[in-house]
Chain A
Amino acid sequence: MSTTDIGTLRGVAAERQIAPIEAEPVAPSSPADPAWSNMKAPDARSQSSSAVAVTNGRRALKVFLSNPNALFGTGFLALVIIIAFIAPILYPDDPLSMVGRPFLWPGQNPDFPLGTDSLGRDVLAGILHGSRISLFVGLTATALGLTFGVLVGSVAGYFGGWIDDALVRLIEIFQTLPSFVLLVVLVAIAQPSATTVTLAIAVISWPTVARLTRAEFRAIREKDFVMAARSLGYGHMRIIFREILPNALPPIIVTSSVMVATAILMESALSFMGLGDPNVVSWGSMIGTGRELVRTAWYLTALPGLAIVFTVLALNLIGDGLNDALNPRFSQDR
């Protein structure tokens, strides 16, 4: 239940530099060097993080498309998205309404291929409709968290000084609060609904992005092309958004797919605990309801859980694929 992206070790290394660690006094070290800065080529980090960015987009796409895992992930995610769109057409009725005899096991009645729950609700209809809330919350919360995190991180990393100090403190506070506990508190206070759940997940997910963006900005702002832009008298906004941000994007892109996965897991955990939107069927709430009957009708718990697992797995496979494609330094060992 963490929003930390595990794919980009490099990002983490840079993140820890918030409390600067004296690394190699003799070696030429910039503040954004990782703590264990004794890698082979001192410029390997900068090469992998920035120079690759836009110019190698085509190459990255090629690498991504030649990765079977990533393709499987993309395919499955596309399927889930399609399902989310056509669920209301396939099952126009409210999935929370009773449609059949309760406790039908999967396969017992061809009208309800995945069976019915204790109230006679169609499990398949629930799972198909449940994809809507999962994707909605996952994508919206990530979009919000990304926007805010990138803004905060780029301002902190670009300007430095007291703005940076203050923002780093803020990030620190949010990263210290256990994110899921904070999430529970926020949703409990604000009353659960799709909107509050989404906003609350965005609130707990922005600090990771902010840290990552800040670390990238700190590394890139010292680069020659940024110096050149500055000497040309470009404004701060132009330098931030046109010069630095495109080069800082690869790790942020990788993180975003993992953020969607994490947001979906968070939403399902909240719904499981009864803190989801009560008017919408969600995979987590289906598990929560099925839980009481896990001894007898375990399929009620197993099936929506599999939906979560495969959707999240698809997103993580995409994240891995993106990491390999955008961060060649790690993929060369594969």
Chain B
Amino acid sequence: MAPLLQVDNLTIRFPRAEPVRDLSFDIGQGETLAIVGESGSGKSLTALALMQLLPRAAKVASGRIAFGGRDLLKLDAREMRHLRGRDIAMIFQEPMTSLNPVMTIGRQIAEVLKVHERLSGRAASERAVELLKLVRIPAPEKRVDDYPHQLSGGMRQRVMIAIAVACKPKLLIADEPTTALDVTIQAQVLDLLDTLRRELQMAVVLITHDLGVVAQWADKVVVMYAGRKVEQALPGDLFNNPLHPYTRGLLAASPRLKNDFHYRDGALSEIPGSIVSAAGEAGCPFRPRCAQARASCGHHVPQLTVPAPDRLVACPFTSPIKAVPHAAALSL
């Protein structure tokens, strides 16, 4: 069966930069795809490109975004509006600011129903209460008349989820949905997302920098660095056998993946440098920060290779399938 969403060779261009280059991935119905990378890796721009909501200065320079067999890049503004909020929905990183402060949450949920399902005002607000119940907000009949500032961050993110799933979309894009939340709330929100995914049979693109999130919730992982895909794997394979040096660095820098880690055991390793240093370099974008870099890394961008089934990696010097010491501690 054809995947629900297939992105081929997507390149996003600003007047003076190309923050996403030649990116391809696909996602099947009901699947969760995680896109992992640090800030600046282009993952959020990719999400906005899927929604066709890129900032004005940014353009999709080349590529194809096929959704249910249609190329989103070829749709006109009206056709795209009909998809947004109905077939493809999105949750943003900042629940604090992503809701309109002067509108009750009920009306903000009802709005999307009125636009796409032509519901009357009363029917829409009844559905809004049901949706609040669906996202596990207590006393939804009362909460529906609240303004965003009366809710906590976790509650607001639940409201955002309610808006996103109101029309039962086929694809939900969640851009760092839990980054701004307390750790205790994060798991609840992700759990809710996963439940809804199964109940509503949505596919989810989960964008995150948190490898812990990936381990638990994703069916498939894409690791991005400086706008390019550097590795793709099933989560189990990725954690047991990270191939790309960047992925290995990410795992080593991630305390929550080591259950028995204590700060006295030694410092967490960090990846030296920053993603900015990759801009404008020829060759492998990770080279300036890579411990294993060799002279040949500066010549050209490494091609993606297929070292094993369901795996892709963009580094020619990966040692084949070798266990990383701490990975054994992972509970998957």
Contacts and interface: CB of A to CB of B under 8 A. Distances in A.
A26 interface: yes
B96 interface: yes
Interface in B82-98: 96-97
Contacts of B96: 24, 26-27, 38
Interface in A1-39: 23-27, 36, 38-39
Contact of B101 (A25, A38, A40): A38
A206 B153 CA distance: 42
A25 B149 contact: yes
A40 B153 contact: no
Residue among A23, A26, A27, A36 with max Cβ neighbours from chain B (10 Å): A26
A4 B168 CA distance: 51
Interface in A44-96: none
A26 B97 contact: no
B274 interface: no
A26 B101 CA distance: 13
A233 B101 CA distance: 43
A38 B152 contact: no
B34 to A, nearest CB: 25
Given A24-B96, A26-B96, A36 B101 contact: yes
A38 B98 CA distance: 9
Nearest to B101: A38
A40 B149 contact: no
A25 B152 CA distance: 9
A39 B97 contact: yes
A192 to B, nearest CB: 49
Interface in B58-91: none
Contacts of A40: 97
Contacts of B153: 26
Contacts of A39: 97
Interface of A: 23-27, 36, 38-40
Ranked nearest first, the 9 interchain pairs of A and B with the lowest CB-CB distance are A38-B97, A27-B96, A24-B149, A38-B101, A26-B152, A26-B153, A25-B149, A38-B96, A36-B101
Given A23-B149, A24-B96, 13 more contacts: A24-B149, A25-B149, A26-B96, A26-B149, A26-B152, A26-B153, A27-B96, A36-B101, A38-B96, A38-B97, A38-B101, A39-B97, A40-B97
15 contacts: A23-B149, A24-B96, A24-B149, A25-B149, A26-B96, A26-B149, A26-B152, A26-B153, A27-B96, A36-B101, A38-B96, A38-B97, A38-B101, A39-B97, A40-B97
